[in-house]
């Protein structure tokens, strides 16, 4: 296996996990900056042509993992691979952000849900999406339906 290394760090308005919007209908429209390390800047070539990016990052302030647990907004327990819980066997996270602008090695983005200072592992272009009508969302849709009653 490889040894993960940071390619950069997130600058985010969130300094503690409590301040990050969570749960059903949470809006993720906070702006932040993906600050890529100088030695990786060349890898950003042409990235500004994409409207959205996948950001792969680490839950660097999470410890251990739980295979089953309850998300903050649903009292029912779910398997870790059915949730976005930070307590995963590999503490890897994925966020889709909208790319607002690029200035050199700084990417200004909308949609950050990371803590300030979070290490970034990778950035990938968002090339296509599953049409909304084809997506089934299991326990999440059920929890939403219960909430809206």
Q: Which residues bind its own copies (CB under 8 A)?
A: 1-7, 36, 40, 42-54, 56, 58, 60, 67-68, 77-84, 88-92, 94, 96, 119, 121-132, 134-142
Residue 101: CB minimum distance to its own copies, A: 13
Which is closer to its own copies, CB of 94 or CB of 147? 94
What minimum distance in Å lies between the beta carbon of 105 and its own copies? 11
Tokens found for residue 56: 């792969």
| Closest CB 103 distance from its own copies, rounded Å | 15
The dihedral through the CA atoms of 84, 85, 88, 93 has a sign that is positive
Query: b/e string for 10-33 if b means 16 or more Cβ within 10 A?
Result: bbbebeeeeebeeeeeeeeebebb
């Amino acid at each position: 296996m490889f040894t993960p290394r940071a390619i950069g760090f997130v600058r985010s308005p969130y300094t503690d996990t409590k301040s990050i919007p969570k749960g059903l209908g949470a809006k993720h429209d906070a702006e932040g900056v993906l600050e890529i390390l100088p030695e990786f800047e060349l890898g950003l070539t042409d990235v500004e042509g994409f409207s959205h990016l996948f950001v792969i990052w680490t839950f660097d302030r999470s410890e251990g993992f739980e295979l089953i647990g309850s998300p903050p907004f649903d009292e029912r327990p779910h398997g870790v691979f059915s949730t976005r819980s930070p307590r995963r066997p590999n503490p890897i996270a994925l966020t889709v952000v909208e790319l607002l602008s690029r200035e050199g090695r700084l990417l200004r983005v909308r949609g950050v849900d990371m803590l300030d200072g979070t290490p970034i592992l990778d950035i990938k272009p968002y090339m296509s999406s599953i049409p909304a009508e084809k997506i089934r969302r299991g326990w999440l849709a059920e929890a939403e339906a219960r909430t809206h009653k």
